[in-house]
Amino acid sequence: MDPVISVRDLWKVFGPNASQLVASDELKALSRQELMDRTGSVAAVRGVDFDVAPGEMFVVMGLSGSGKSTLVRCLTRLVEPTAGTIMFEGENILEADPKRLRDLRRNKFSMVFQHFGLLPHRTVADNVGYGLEIRGVPRAKRAERSQEVIDLVGLSGNEKSYPDQLSGGMQQRVGLARALAGDPDVLFFDEPFSALDPLIRRDMQSEVIRLHREVGKTMVFITHDLSEALKLGDRILIMRDGKVVQVGTGDELVGAPADDYVRDFVRDVPKSHVLTLKWIMRPPRPDDDLDGPELSPETVVREAVRSVLGADKPVKVVRDGELLGVVADEEILGVVAGEA
Amino acid sequence: MVAVAAPRQLPRKPLIFAGIVLAWLVLWLVFRNVGTLALGAADLTPLHRWVNDVNDAVGASRNSNPVFLYFFNEIRLVIDEFVTFIQALIAQPSFGRPVPVIGWLGVVAIAGFVSLAVAGWRVALLAVAGFVFLGLQGLWQESMDTLSLTLAAVVISLLIGIPLGIWAGLSDRAHRILTPVLDFMQTMPTFVYLAPLTLFFLIGPASATIATLIYAAPPAIRITAHAIRTVPRTTVEASESLGATQKQTLVKVLLPSARKTIVLGINQTIMAALSMVTIAALIDAPGLGKTVVKALQTLDVGTAFNAGLAIVVLAIVLDRVTTAAASERRTLPRWALFGGLGVTGVCVYLSYTYLWAAEFQSDVEIGSAIRKGATAVTEWAQDSLPVITDGFKDFVTIVLINPLQALLAESPWFLVALVIVALSFMIGGVRPAIVSAVCIAALIATGLWQDSMITLASTLVATILVMLLGIVVGVWMGRSRRADRFIRPILDAAQVMPAFVYLVPFLALFSASRFTAIIAAVVFAAPVAIKIIADGIRAVSPATVEASTALGSSSWQTIVKVQLPMARGALTLAANQGLIYVLSMVVVGGLVGAGALGYDVVAGFSQGQLYGKGLAAGVAIVVLGVMLDRLTQAAAKRWTN
Ligand SMILES: Nc1ncnc2c1ncn2[C@@H]1O[C@H](COP(=O)(O)OP(=O)(O)OP(=O)(O)O)[C@@H](O)[C@H]1O
Ligand SMILES: [Mg+2]
């Protein structure tokens, strides 16, 4: 399937003469700090490539200052990229004129912000309907659609409240509803739950997972929290100092970290929750008894513990009838013990 | 880290300061009354005569010169028309009628209804009571004249100010261009641009309105720009991310989010306009201010007090209504809206048709009672309190004013110039020294050197008193939340009052003298200084104060060694603002015996042959202002880095 979003060699440099900077291979090769010292400019995003598939939940994660917000703002041109291409459904966004850009923002993508960005002088319903109002949707239709999404995000009964009368979690639901109201193809989230306390955050994460399942939209989700990334992401992109360090599924990052930076990152992840059998299986040895139970390579370790430890023979890892490897007690214990 | 850096360079400085002052004293003894550049009250310099000639020439060519015909006269006409129109509606007999179009009942009803709609029923009640009180004082027409002029100036100010403010809020470049212009407009001593304006727009409502405009528009511009700039970035971004056009974001996001703050700006504009409109009585603007000026000139404290009270009442009503409008989301129930509209309509109709509802005639006239009461209190105070009032007055006069004035005004000009330049250099370095030198040259050029020095002496004394008051009350407020809660509303109220009304009670207590003008200026300037210092003290990190207490400092030690030094920035800012406020009272002080520049300006308005001198005095006040402002700012920079 063709990707919805396809980003190639994307650069964003803040500061004077940004476009000349990215034209010079010598300057591009410098580290962020060196570039800062030499030219006084900040390279927030440096040569980023990635694709997002339709319906995917794509997570971008990195520490504070790594350039995540800048990256996601480049995708909607809230920040003007310095160089590169961003293809959206086959169209290069960087070539869109202001009118086309507005059309895209009105119909194709929308964004949820860390600090909500609600309009304090409008009720919940009017906040949710704001995007439609801007497009010129008539009032009655607006009200109907707003009500739909308000119900969808579980805010029914609060339509007439003002943002400052709501808790943080509820305010972000308004932000979510506002983004959903225009029925966009892609939703961007910039650390939407960082300002919420942990319990509410967990609720909201489940909410997003539910919405993703129900409405099936493509989502690009920014976070600095690895457990959030692992919980939500189909695939995860790890950024450091504006560069991509690794892109992959959760178990790929944990099972095969690209470098020490990523390894450090995922060190404290409970591996049994993330790794699947394919990461821990070994080739069968001659002395193995090969008539034990079978499991798929996609089975998460945690869920295989009981079967493996309960069986007195190694468990066979099988895909489409083909034997890929075996897992015995010591492999399982190696993972579980490593977490203690 | 700041606290450590300062003492290293300090020890030498006080010695040099002391040396300079000592040398000055010695030379003063030697050269006393030599080269003081004195100028008699009725004497003129060639410059003053030349300005008079220009004034006459301008007067003669007013109706022939194209610049006047097609520019200044047009502006004057339009503004005059506008003011006259509002006056015709509520203040002056018009359209061949013996009374204005809308009589007192109608005006009271409109005031009540508008207040009800924007500020709720409590404030509406206050507005109605306030307006009726104005009538009872026997000052209905004067009050309406003042209100008309204020409204005219406010409308024009907002028509200019809000678009400019929006522009400066949206564009960084506009912001960069406008900020220094506004800074300059606001550091200008308030009342000095009256004179040059009369040159172009004649004496009367047009000049008064334009002067008011200059004074009242900057807050509207500044606050609107600030309000737009402080709308959270994410909110704007959210709107853009949904595909809003710039105009949609402005109209649907920025302006509504900034609404409350913009209304606060309107509040400031209205209060500034009221203050200036009353002062503009000096150039023949009609209204309450004129009543006060006339009464001050004849030392009729009773009448001045009654009219001053009316200004206060007007100020309170206007302030309450606009403040309440800024503070809440309010929607009037439909029945109240239409009911109120109906009642107001009926009242307006009645006041249009019947004399009793048009002209305020009352059997319970309380104005004369107030006048008599105030006069009686004044006489009593002057008869029975002289020990206290005169004692205080003489003490300050002898200990502070006289020595300083003698030193400044009786030294040869070159000596004072040398001392000022040397001090400027020590405070700020080369640039302030050059600025001071240029300012001194300008003062000499105005021909009013000695008057300038006398005014400078009064200004310094007033500023010293302001700072003393500011430090004592400010530290108290900064350290005690209760004191702050109690005093702050009083200061807020005091700041809202037009400068004028401060003169009246002090005139009653101290009669006309330099001292009275100084005290009025101190009272006018103190609230700003106190607030700045209180905020500065409060901003000192509590952890530092706690650490000092934990080391066993007494309260006094904590104040002197921790809080005041750390609030240095606030102290210099307070001194700077205090100076500017004090200077802006110089002209007003001229009405109650301040003499020197203040008197020159006031006399220039009333006597044709002193016009040029008055104008020069206005320039001298501005020059003093620029010099002192630059100096205090340089000091602030030096001490806070
Ligand atoms: N408008 C700007 N002007 C100059 N520099 C900027 C601007 N916006 C971001 N930067 C810089 O770009 C870098 C990346 O910032 P960005 O906000 O994208 O990081 P982030 O990963 O979102 O961090 P956080 O987790 O704190 O939100 C930072 O060094 C930041 O200082
Ligand atoms: Mg960010």
Specify the DSSP class assigned to residue A30.
Answer: S
For residues B174 and B205, state if they share a domain. Answer: yes
What CATH number did the domain enclosing B226 receive?
Answer: 1.10.3720.10
Q: What is the pLDDT of residue A340?
A: 52
- Residue B524 has which token pair? 């006018």
Q: Is the CB of A65 under 6 A from ligand 1?
A: yes
Which range of B177-191, B252-266, B482-496 scores highest in mean pLDDT? It is: B252-266
pLDDT recorded at residue B1: 36
Strand (E) or helix (H) holding A8? strand A5-14
Q: Are residues B183 and B276 in the same domain?
A: yes
Please provide the size of chain A in residues.
340
CATH topology classification for A51-83+97-108+184-269: Rossmann fold (3.40.50)
Report the Cα B626 to chain-centroid distance in Å.
17
| Whether residues B314 and B389 fall in one domain | no
pLDDT, average across residues A10-21: 87
Q: Residue B431 forms beta bridges with which residues?
A: none
| pLDDT tier for residue B641 given thresholds of 50, 70 and 90 | low
Count of alpha carbons within 13 angstroms of residue B510, beta-carbon side? 27
Q: Give the span between the Cα atoms of A253 and A266, in whole angstroms.
A: 8
Query: According to CATH, what is the number of the domain A272-338?
Result: 3.90.1280.20
Asked if the structure places residue B464 within a domain, the reply is yes
How high does pLDDT run on average in chain B?
Answer: 84
**Which tens digits make up the pLDDT trace of A18-53?**
888 888 888 788 888 888 888 888 999 999 999 999
Burial class (CB in 10 A: 0-12, 13-18, 19+), A278: middle
Q: Does the pLDDT value for residue B440 go beyond 60?
A: yes
Q: How confident is the model at residue B436 (pLDDT cuts 50, 70, 90)?
A: very high
- Tell me, what's the pLDDT at B12? 67
Name residue B88's amino acid. A
Both B316 and B405 in a single domain? no
Q: Are B450 and B409 in contact (CB under 8 A)?
A: yes
Residue B50 inside a domain? The answer is no
Provide the pLDDT confidence category of residue B330 given band limits of 50, 70 and 90: low
In this structure, the answer to whether residues B344 and B395 fall within a common structural domain is no
- Residue B312 in this model has a pLDDT that exceeds 50: yes
Q: What is the pLDDT of residue B595?
A: 78
The pTM is what?
0.78
- Domain span at residue B480 reads 385-410+450-640
Same structural domain, B371 and B393: no
A314 has a pLDDT exceeding 50 = yes
CA distance A11 to A86: 11
Please enumerate in sequence order all residues whose Cβ is within 8 A of that of B461, keeping only pairs 6 or more positions apart, or say none.
B396, B400, B401, B404, B518
| 3-state DSSP assignment of residue A325 | strand
Q: What is the pLDDT of residue B299?
A: 78
pLDDT band at B329, cuts 50/70/90?
Answer: low
Same domain, B287 and B400: no
* Residue A35: C-alpha distances to residues A21, A242, B225 (Å): 9, 13, 35
Q: What percent of chain A has pLDDT over 70?
A: 99
Predicted confidence at residue B302, as pLDDT, reads 86
pLDDT value for B576: 86
Residue B468 has pLDDT above 90, yes or no: yes
Asked if residue A240 has its Cβ within 6 Å of ligand 1, the reply is no
Query: How distant, in Å, are the alpha carbons of B174, B217, B221 from that of B169?
Result: 8, 15, 9
Structure tokens at A155: 């805010």
Q: Which two tokens stand for residue B310?
A: 């009316």
In the beta sheet, which residues pair with residue A51? A6
- In this predicted complex, what is the ipTM? 0.78
C-alpha of B476 from chain center:
26
Residue-wise pLDDT for B89-111, tens only, equals 888 888 878 888 888 888 999 99
At A289 the pLDDT is 82
Let me know whether B170 and B312 are in one domain. Answer: yes
pLDDT at B190: 63
Listed in order, the ranges of chain A carrying CATH 3.40.50.300 are 51-83+97-108+184-269
- Tokens 């960005």 belong to A117
Cα pseudo-dihedral B163, B267, B219, B627, rounded to 10: 160
Closest residue in chain B to residue A184, using alpha carbons only: B242
Ligand 1 contacts CB of residue A68 (under 6 A): yes
Alpha carbon separation from B117 to B102, B111, B262, B336, B591 (Å, rounded): 20, 10, 18, 9, 40
Q: Summarize pLDDT for B26-52 with one digit per residue, the tens.
A: 887 877 777 777 777 777 788 888 888
Percent of chain B with pLDDT over 70: 96
Residue-wise pLDDT tens digits, A68-108: 999 999 998 989 999 999 999 989 999 999 899 988 988 99
**Ligand 1 atom, smallest distance to A62 CA:** 21
Least confident of A214-223, B53-62, B263-272, B531-540: B53-62
List beta partners, residue B19. none
Residue B552 has pLDDT above 80, yes or no: no
B487 and B596 in a single domain? The answer is yes
Mean pLDDT value of segment B418-437:
88
Cβ burial, residue B351 (10 Å; 0-12/13-18/19+): buried
- Ligand located closest to B234 CA: 2
Q: Is residue B40 part of a domain?
A: no
pLDDT at B5: 42
Residues A309, A333: Cα–Cα separation, whole Å = 9
Question: By the 8 A CB rule, do B133 and B256 touch?
Answer: no
- Residue B54 in this model has a pLDDT that exceeds 90: no
Q: Which of B381, B401, B435 is the last residue of a domain?
A: B381
- A–B interface: beta-carbon pairs under 8 A: 72
Cβ–Cβ gap B256/A119 under 8 Å: yes
Distance A67 CA to ligand 1 centre (A): 6
pLDDT tens string B103-146: 888 899 999 999 988 888 888 999 999 999 998 888 888 999 99
> Is the predicted pLDDT of residue B585 greater than 90, yes or no?
no
Least confident of B53-57, B463-467, B637-641: B637-641
Q: Residues of chain A whose C-beta is under 8 A from some C-beta in B?
A: 73, 76, 78, 101-107, 110-111, 113-122, 130-131, 133-135, 162, 175, 178, 182, 188
- Asked whether residue B331 falls in the same domain as residue B390, the answer is no
Q: Report pLDDT for B497.
A: 74
**How many angstroms separate the CA of residue A187 from the nearest CA in chain B?**
11
* Whether residue B209 has pLDDT greater than 80: yes
Q: Number of structural domains, chain B?
A: 2
Same domain, B628 and B581: yes
Same domain, B350 and B406: no
Q: What percent of chain B has pLDDT over 90?
A: 15
The strand pairing partners of A45, in sequence order, are A12
**Residue nearest atom 1 of ligand 1, based on CA coordinates:** A14
